[in-house]
Amino acid sequence: MRRTSIGVLLLMISFVLISFSSCKSSQPAASDNQVSVDNTSTEPAEKENVVEQTYVVPKETYTRVNKDFNELAELSETFFYDKINDKIEEIYSYFESKETPVLTVVTFSGDRPVFDRPMTIEQYLNYLKDKKTFNLKIYEITVNKDEKITKLVLSK
């Protein structure tokens, strides 16, 4: 019985030694007098003063996007692929990029909208082309200073 106790004790000691030896860091520990300061921040110094500018979206933008979405849906029924692709390229020209987000409001929770899965304008136009019908309303359009659409929100 004494022999097993010694064996278990040696096994535990070796386990502890192996555990501590594997936890050693390759960096020397800082002494109490050393303080490490990271001055490589790329954030703006005055983050509180950064204000996102908003731009007024002309009513014509709402009308034009709505009209073109309906035209794309109608063209998709005709199978004139050249005209469909031309219309898609025209619609892309209104947007900042093909990765511009398109959100669809499904319902409201109080005053807050609840959105469906977000899409890019590229994904949404392909969906619209396949669905062949546009039965949503434009809820909100956000534009940049160049009047390119940066976010489109649709509502059922």
In order of their start, the domains of the chain are 59-155 (3.10.450)
Two structure tokens written together for 9: 């004790």
C-alpha distances in angstroms, 74 versus 86, 89, 102?
A: 14, 16, 20
Residue 156 banded pLDDT, cuts 50, 70, 90: confident
* Range 128-135 average pLDDT: 93
Query: pLDDT grade, residue 48 (50/70/90)?
Result: low
